[in-house]
Amino acid sequence: MAYTTIDDPTIYFNTKLYTGNATNPTTISGIGFQPDWVWTKGRDTAEGHRWCDSVRGATKDLLSNTTSAESTNSIGLKSFNSDGYVIGNSNGYNKNSQTFVSWNWKAETSFTNDASGTGIGSIDSAGSVNNDAGFSIVSYTGTGSNGTVKHGLSTVPKMIIYKRRNSTSGWPTWHTSIGTNILELNETGASQNGSTYINGTVPTSSVFSIGTSGDINASGGTYIAYCFADVQGYSKFSSYIGNANADGTFVYTGFKPAFVIAKLASVGGENWYLWDNKRSTGNVMDKFLYANLSNTEVTSSSLIDFLSNGFKLRTAGDFLNANGETHIYMAFAENPFVTSTGVPATAR
């Protein structure tokens, strides 16, 4: 069997840097595919993390650093196209002379599920899925009672991020490394009991379970879920144990990372840290953003390296390397460690 089925990860995930010009409309191109999920953040302006996707519709904004309900922003992300997307002159996307980053994922194939008709799950769902890339976006309406929802993937998800659309709510996040607990993407807390969120049940290869919390399953509430599965050589959702050493823990992913988010999960009080290979082009990775805060980009020279087969911590700080504590991460590849034809990745 080949080491990976994805020799070029940029056909499914890519990072785009651009400078705002306050012009409506402005085309952002060079992504290499039509994205289904675009996550945008101003680098030198304290604007929120803005999420748009093709399932909810391009103009529908969610901010992952807040509890705000979904809003319609006609001058934000206006539409998707074959090589990127079109934005208006909203400050959150296109403030004049300010620098921005967007992270872009491809889902591609639409699906719907009538649960009573198919016998898959107990709650109807619809969305977009890319099984090659282990990614789906799922829309559903809550019932207020414990239930199950088809996620569209053909394998078991390793991470799911949920958000209520029609009311204020947190961002419950399930990760395979915290069992039946959840984290909140918009908060700094430790993992917490997830019984009312995921009904004490981890996902299967066909459905995820939801409990009775209003953040995930209020009667009549509308929801979106972003689901991720491991794909060898392309994506990894796992954890590492910190050692509190500046010559820190090495984390094997099986690829050279393009994007990493890490969060201390077993102890509260720490942010979600985010790096990518476009804002930092060499080691040490010196530019990061907080995924849970609107803060501007931070420069630090001693946190993390991206390597040909994973990443390595370069700090003794508890926020990334707390001794004996569990840190969860999500990562996507720049290159597989070894391609399907046996070509190895090179270090940075």
What is the average pLDDT across 26-45? Answer: 98
pLDDT surpasses 70 at 329: yes
Q: What is the pLDDT of residues 10-28, one digit of tens each?
A: 999 999 999 999 999 999 9
- Measure the CA–CA gap between 179 and 158, rounded to whole angstroms: 10
- Hey, which residues does 273 pair with through a beta bridge? 262, 290
The three-state secondary structure class of 135 is: strand
Q: How many CB atoms lie within 10 A of CB 282?
A: 10
Check: CB of residue 120 under 8 Å from CB of residue 48.
no
- What pLDDT does residue 182 have? 98
28, 29, 31, 33: CA torsion to nearest 10: 110
Residues 337 and 308: their CA atoms lie apart, in Å, by 6
- Classified as helix, coil or strand, 11 is helix
Residue 219: CB atoms within 10 A of its CB come to: 11
What is the amino acid identity at position 285?
A: M
For the stretch 178-215, pLDDT in tens is 999 999 999 999 999 999 999 999 999 999 999 999 99
Contacts of 283 (CB under 8 A, 6+ apart): 305, 306, 348
Contact assessment for residue 4 and residue 234, using Cβ atoms and an 8 Å cutoff? yes
Q: What's the chain's average pLDDT?
A: 96
